[in-house]
Structure 1
Amino acid sequence: MKAFEAALFDLDGTLVDTEPRSQAAWRRLFLAHHVPHDQRMLASFAGRPGKAVLTEHRHQFDRRHTVDELFAEALSYATTPAAPVPGAVELVRALHSSGTPVGVVTSGTRDYARAELDALGLPALLAVLITAEDVAAGKPSPEGYLAGCRALGVAPPRTVVFEDAPAGVAAAKAAGAYCVAVTTTQPAAALCAADLVVPDLSGLRWVDGHLEARLSG
């Protein structure tokens, strides 16, 4: 596999297994406001800024509630601690130990991202954090990953991006980066645009700037 000079990680579903908690929070919000929903609607939030997706469904809610109010209500339901994705913390530590600059590009807010990263013990290992507040357009726009590459001083083709959602994979590829997708929240078929698809990060090793995938069986 080609050598890389930097790495950028998505947060939810890639570093920390928050998708079950997130879907439960969105479901609770919809039920509280008597909004019809199905699994496809819940899955549409994966990898995208929550406020942007809520805006698309704004017409289904009472007009007395703003998108900001609805988003804050959903966040109030997402209080259960989430576990790290297998191999995620170990891979970030290996990258940092090798001197490879590492960053996070997330569709979440800065306060939210910092809280999740603090729980993983990772902030000191990260060179950059790009959040929803730092970009004009969220994923699948490549803006966040392009900003991350600029901040790290590494061109996108020399950067490996780790993602879990189709919108994130699309953003990484549009930026020109190599993309590894994990099937923590989506089936492999939904992530086929990625360069490499793996179950989680536990089978990956970082050796001299090269990413090695350990084959099972």
Structure 2
Amino acid sequence: MFNNVIFDMDGVLINSEPEYLRRQLAAAREVGATPLSTNLQDYVGRASAVTWQTAVPENEALRQQAIDRFTAELLSDPIDYARIITPGVADLIKYLHAAGYGLGLASAASWDGVTTMLQETGLQPYFTSVVSGETLSANKPDPQVYLQNLAKLQADPARSLAIEDSPTGITAAHAAGMTAWALAPNDYTIDQTQADRVATSMLQIQDWLQQA
């Protein structure tokens, strides 16, 4: 049924969303901003420009101060991506690679963040295509990040599967003509009703692919 699998990063390959939000809201409060929302659902899967507008709605100058504080903290206390890798994801990716699936990564995050994550987790060698939505003219929910992956993989959208977690990512994958399965988070809730299937683990995703 599928011969290509394209993964989202945050919330799928790594459980990074709560940590990113904690640091982002802390930086916003340090500069005196009042976030429009502290609900993780309003941040998950969105481009960083959008999340910063939510965290620091007052003005661009204050927003940049918060971003600078956030960036400085990441430099002084980097996120340990290997520690927050999703259980079972390495086994699934190795299985897919060995089975001959084309593998892509379609993230709304920055290129630096994506490449650092791949290096620290040891997943880089398995991906034929890696695309950051922040390098494109439009990020998720626009389908560009998936369309570019499909082009690099020379893949038929009808035979390509996206593994997502957020509504924006699911929308992007569907707009690219792909099937979208969602990985349900363990420690927060998010609207995944538009997904074609919702899995509770990477092992379940592997089981479904083996049965397809």
What TM-score does the superposition give when structure 1 sets the normalisation length? 0.84
Counterpart Cα distance in 1 of 2:12 and 2:168: 13
In the alignment, structure 1 residue 81 sits paired with structure 2 residue 88? no
- Structure 1 pair 86–143 and aligned structure 2 pair: CA distance change class (3 A): same
Deviation at 1:201, TM superposition (A): 1.2
**Residue in 2 that maps onto 1:20:** 18
- Structure 1 pair 46–109 and aligned structure 2 pair: CA distance change class (3 A): same
Give the helix-richer structure, 1 or 2.
2
Query: Any gaps of 5 or more consecutive residues in structure 1?
Result: none
| Percent of matched pairs sharing the same residue | 22
Q: Which amino acid aligns with 2:73?
A: Y
3-state SS, counterpart of residue 60 of structure 1: coil
Q: 1:52 aligns with which of 50, 53, 63?
A: 50
- Structure 1 pair 59–80 and aligned structure 2 pair: CA distance change class (3 A): closer
In the alignment, structure 1 residue 139 sits paired with structure 2 residue 140? yes
Q: Which amino acid aligns with 1:26?
A: Q
- Structure 1 pair 211–46 and aligned structure 2 pair: CA distance change class (3 A): farther
Deviations 1:105-130 (A, max 9, x none): 11111111111111210111110110
**Residue in 1 that maps onto 2:38:** 39
Counterpart Cα distance in 2 of 1:212 and 1:171: 25
- Structure 1 pair 211–192 and aligned structure 2 pair: CA distance change class (3 A): farther
Deviation at 1:94, TM superposition (A): 0.8
**Residue in 1 that maps onto 2:149:** 148
Deviation at 1:54, TM superposition (A): 2.0
**Residue in 2 that maps onto 1:5:** 3
Counterpart Cα distance in 2 of 1:6 and 1:46: 24
Work out whether residues 34 and 55 of structure 2, in 8 Å CA contact, stay in contact via their aligned partners in 1.
no
Q: Which runs of structure 2 are paired with 1:118-197 in the superposition (5 Å)? A: 118-184=119-185, 187=189, 190-197=191-198
- Structure 1 pair 93–191 and aligned structure 2 pair: CA distance change class (3 A): same
- Structure 1 pair 123–158 and aligned structure 2 pair: CA distance change class (3 A): same
Q: Which amino acid aligns with 1:167?
A: T
Counterpart Cα distance in 2 of 1:14 and 1:203: 13
Deviation at 1:206, TM superposition (A): 6.2
Work out whether residues 87 and 203 of structure 1, in 8 Å CA contact, stay in contact via their aligned partners in 2.
no
RMSD: 2.3
Work out whether residues 45 and 53 of structure 1, in 8 Å CA contact, stay in contact via their aligned partners in 2.
yes
Deviations 1:136-163 (A, max 9, x none): 1111111111111111001211100001
Query: Any gaps of 5 or more consecutive residues in structure 2?
Result: none
What TM-score does the superposition give when structure 2 sets the normalisation length? 0.86
Counterpart Cα distance in 2 of 1:47 and 1:59: 19
Counterpart Cα distance in 2 of 1:92 and 1:100: 9
Counterpart Cα distance in 1 of 2:68 and 2:16: 17
3-state SS, counterpart of residue 4 of structure 1: coil
**Residue in 2 that maps onto 1:64:** 61
- Structure 1 pair 159–211 and aligned structure 2 pair: CA distance change class (3 A): farther
**Equivalent residue pairs, number:** 205
